[in-house]
């Protein structure tokens, strides 16, 4: 090899090495642009804006996290409007942002997610809880709070814990509300429960009290008394106001509100007394955040900054942690040689010159690498561990279960995906083996609507339900089993008592009415009564009806509750066995009487036999022995002559 060839190869080797080295040790930019979009005038938005600002101060003042690179966040107000959200997202894409914090509302997220996926810009939402957003359709959408899939699982576990089988769901009729209730229906079905009636409400604040009253009047006619509210705070409090006016916040009703209610209670406490009076006994859920010194210190810092309203809530904590999660991900991104660069989309370039200026949007070249680092995040924030599972959801989802009581709230327990319902904090249970047995599902006592501690039955006989027609024989004999109360349509007797007791044990309503069969002057034909079921005149019959072969061929019988025939009388107490066990069936007095009878029989036989039978003669001692032997042997075998 000549000298020129060697120099060429050496130069090529050094050039390739320098290119590879430059990729692995990328130059960190001075500023990284990030977007944030949410509703500034909402409870979540007011808190999130302050929390994001505080997180930016902490990140940019910490030299160990991004090593000189500063985060710059541009805020945009979408007002939870899908159209405005899309417009603001397109504006972001023209400013070379590497990630967007938000959106807040689930109805905006799908629209923006399509844009983000095409331009490879990760979305980190701290408040969009629609469970369908975790689908593979939105690969660049990352939820930094808990999904409503887990919240609905918690609601289903509460309903199953109290033994209720049917619920009514009232929800906001948009993607967030419909998808949340759909998840609830699936989770209830897994526990052999169901939504018996569901109704959507207009998804804006213009819904009138008259429209809500029409809905609640229909709910009052239903069988179930378990109502789940998946609404926003404006519509939710309107529902409670109308329900209170209709007397539906009293005994027998159960109201379960999703975390929109706890959000208001945490952010605007104390609420006016007239508002609190309308939600007494309601159960609600709150996203659980780990109790820690850092969290308590941030609450104290928040109170110093704000000095009043708005108060910090769980979504504010998640917004703060989202900024830190993005900072950690960018740090790992730069350590791996990631470069912040953008390229034009050839599909959009052909539209250059249009009034929309779509050509200004560009693709984030290393967006996939940044997304990968976001999903590999593993650190502890104010809310607890921030780590994602294979479904891009946060690990260890948990909720606080809250009972509205008096002028405040009372926590009655926790729900976690690890252990279900418990009165012990999830962090304590994480250190123990997983145990979701029914015996471990516990909650503290609840003050239900109507200020009662007794668990509501959860159902009533519906006013609009079809009554079962129960045929009852009008007997003239053996009236203890079944008989008609004179001058009324009511029946009484042992069979009626058994039937009503069985109906009362059911976890749902069975409306029925008794119909007399027979003229009351003679006992009716039971075979004819049973045949009335097959003709559709009766839905069932109740009475002292014998189970015979020809009847079992046309109808089904319950288990017999009155039996007759041979029975065995056995002692319940277990006696010790031994050599004298044969004496146990009879009492001591019975054995004395039995022995006396045998002795008398022996004496009578001696009187009759000693004159003609040589075996009954002899000395007096021998004759006494013969009498006793004859008496004793009579108990064990029969004598013959």
Asked if 203 and 260 count as a contact pair (C-beta separation under 8 A), the reply is: no
Percent helix / strand / coil, the chain, rounded to 5: 40, 15, 40
Regions of the chain with pLDDT less than 70: 1-26, 93-94, 345-360, 463-465, 564-578, 582-583, 634-641
pLDDT of 350? 54
Q: What is d(CA 228, CA 184) in angstroms, rounded to the nearest whole number?
A: 10
Give the global pTM.
Answer: 0.74
Beta strands 123-125 and 99-101 are parallel
pLDDT of 4? 46
pLDDT tens figures, 371-428: 999 999 999 999 999 999 988 889 999 999 999 998 889 999 999 999 999 999 999 9
Question: Token pair of 407, please?
Answer: 């002028």
pLDDT of 189? 94
pLDDT of 509? 72
Through-space distance between the first and last CA atoms of the chain, rounded to whole angstroms: 138
pLDDT of 14? 38
Asked if 379 and 389 count as a contact pair (C-beta separation under 8 A), the reply is: no
Report DSSP state, residue 616: G
Q: What is d(CA 190, CA 169) in angstroms, rounded to the nearest whole number?
A: 17
Output Rg (C-alpha) for the chain, integer angstroms. 40
Using alpha carbons only, what angle is made at residue 431 by residues 430 and 434, rounded to the nearest 5 degrees?
60
pLDDT of 286? 96
Ranges of beta strands (E only) in 345-479 are: 362-364, 378-380, 385-387, 398-405, 408-416, 420-422, 468-473
Asked if 170 and 201 count as a contact pair (C-beta separation under 8 A), the reply is: yes
Nearest CA among 242, 292, 328, 291 for reference residue 65? 328
pLDDT of 16? 38
Question: Token pair of 508, please?
Answer: 């749902």
Q: What is d(CA 521, CA 511) in angstroms, rounded to the nearest whole number?
A: 29
pLDDT of 567? 67
Nearest CA among 288, 311, 540 for reference residue 426? 288
DSSP string for residues in 497-535: HHHHHHHHHSSS---EEEEEES-SSSPPPHHHHHHHHHT
Asked if 348 and 291 count as a contact pair (C-beta separation under 8 A), the reply is: no
Across the chain, which distance is largest between two alpha carbons, in Å?
Answer: 155
pLDDT of 357? 53
pLDDT of 478? 80
φ, ψ at 354 (rounded to 5°): -75, 165
3-state secondary structure 251-301: CCCEEEECHHHHHHHHHCCCCCHHHHHCCCCCEEEEECCCCCHHHHHHHHH
Using alpha carbons only, what angle is made at residue 181 by residues 403 and 242, rounded to the nearest 5 degrees?
55
Asked if 503 and 510 count as a contact pair (C-beta separation under 8 A), the reply is: yes
- 414 forms beta bridges with 400, 422
pLDDT tens figures, 555-575: 888 888 777 666 666 666 665
pLDDT of 570? 67
Q: What is d(CA 597, CA 614) in angstroms, rounded to the nearest whole number?
A: 24
Using alpha carbons only, what angle is made at residue 311 by residues 310 and 316, rounded to the nearest 5 degrees?
95
| Domains observed in the chain | 31-146+292-344+360-386 (3.40.50.2300), 148-287+396-440 (3.40.50.2300), 468-553 (3.40.190.10), 575-640 (no CATH)
pLDDT of 20? 38
Residue with tokens 């991004």: 66
């Amino acid at each position: 090899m000549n000298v020129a060839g060697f120099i060429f190869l050496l130069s090529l080797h050094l050039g390739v090495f320098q290119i590879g080295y430059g990729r692995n040790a990328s130059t960190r930019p001075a500023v990284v642009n990030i977007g944030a979009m949410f509703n500034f005038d909402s409870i979540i938005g007011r808190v999130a804006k302050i929390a994001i600002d505080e997180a930016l101060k902490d990140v940019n003042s910490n030299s160990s996290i991004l090593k000189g690179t500063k985060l710059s966040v541009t805020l945009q107000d979408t007002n939870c409007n899908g159209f405005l959200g899309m417009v603001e997202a397109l504006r972001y894409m023209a400013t070379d942002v590497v990630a967007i914090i938000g959106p807040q509302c689930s109805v905006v997220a799908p629209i923006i997610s399509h844009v983000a996926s095409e331009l490879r810009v990760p979305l980190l939402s701290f408040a969009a809880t629609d469970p369908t957003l975790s689908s593979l359709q939105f690969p660049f959408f990352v939820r930094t709070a808990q999904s409503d899939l887990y919240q609905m699982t918690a609601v289903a576990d509460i309903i199953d814990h109290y033994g209720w089988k049917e619920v009514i769901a009232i929800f906001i009729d948009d993607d967030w509300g419909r998808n949340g209730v759909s998840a609830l229906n699936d989770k209830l079905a897994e526990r052999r429960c169901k939504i018996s009636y569901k109704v959507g409400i207009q998804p804006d604040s213009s819904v009138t009290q008259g429209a809500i009253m029409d809905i609640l009047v229909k709910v009052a006619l239903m069988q179930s008394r378990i109502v789940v509210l998946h609404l926003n705070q404006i519509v939710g409090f309107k529902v409670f106001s109308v329900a209170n006016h209709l007397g539906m916040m009293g005994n027998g009703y159960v109201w379960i509100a999703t975390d929109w209610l706890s959000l208001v209670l945490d952010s605007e406490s104390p609420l006016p007394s007239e508002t609190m009076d309308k939600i007494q006994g309601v159960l609600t859920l709150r996203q659980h955040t780990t109790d820690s010194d850092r969290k308590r210190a941030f609450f104290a810092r928040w109170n110093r900054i704000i000095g009043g309203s708005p108060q910090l809530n769980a979504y504010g904590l998640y917004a703060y942690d989202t900024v830190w999660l993005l900072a950690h991900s960018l740090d790992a991104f730069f350590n791996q040689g990631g470069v912040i660069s953008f390229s034009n989309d050839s599909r959009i370039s052909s539209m250059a010159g249009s009034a929309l200026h779509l050509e200004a949007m560009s693709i984030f070249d290393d967006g996939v690498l940044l997304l990968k680092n976001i999903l590999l995040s593993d650190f502890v924030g104010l809310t607890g561990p921030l780590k994602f599972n294979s479904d891009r959801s946060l690990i260890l989802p948990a909720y606080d279960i809250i009972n509205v009581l008096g002028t405040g709230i009372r926590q009655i327990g926790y729900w976690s995906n690890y252990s279900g319902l418990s009165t012990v904090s999830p962090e304590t249970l994480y250190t123990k083996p997983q145990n979701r047995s029914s015996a471990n599902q516990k909650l503290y006592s609840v003050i239900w609507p109507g200020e009662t501690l007794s668990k509501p039955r959860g159902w009533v006989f519906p006013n609009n339900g079809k009554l079962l027609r129960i045929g009852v024989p009008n007997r003239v004999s053996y009236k203890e089993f079944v008989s008609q109360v004179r001058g009324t349509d009511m029946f009484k007797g042992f069979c009626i008592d058994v039937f009503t007791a069985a109906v009362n044990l059911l976890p749902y309503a069975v409306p029925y009415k008794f119909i007399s069969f027979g003229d009351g002057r003679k006992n009716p034909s039971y075979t004819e009564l049973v045949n009335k079921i097959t003709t559709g005149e009766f839905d069932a019959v109740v009475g002292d009806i014998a189970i015979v072969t020809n009847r079992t061929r046309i109808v089904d019988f319950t288990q017999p509750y009155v039996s007759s025939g041979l029975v065995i009388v056995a002692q319940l107490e277990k006696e010790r066995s031994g050599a004298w066990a044969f004496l146990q069936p009879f009492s001591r007095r019975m054995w004395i009487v039995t022995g006396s009878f045998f002795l008398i029989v022996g004496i009578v036989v001696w009187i009759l036999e000693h004159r003609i039978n040589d075996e009954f003669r002899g000395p007096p001692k021998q004759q006494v022995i013969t009498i006793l032997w004859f008496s004793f042997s009579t108990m064990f075998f029969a004598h013959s002559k």
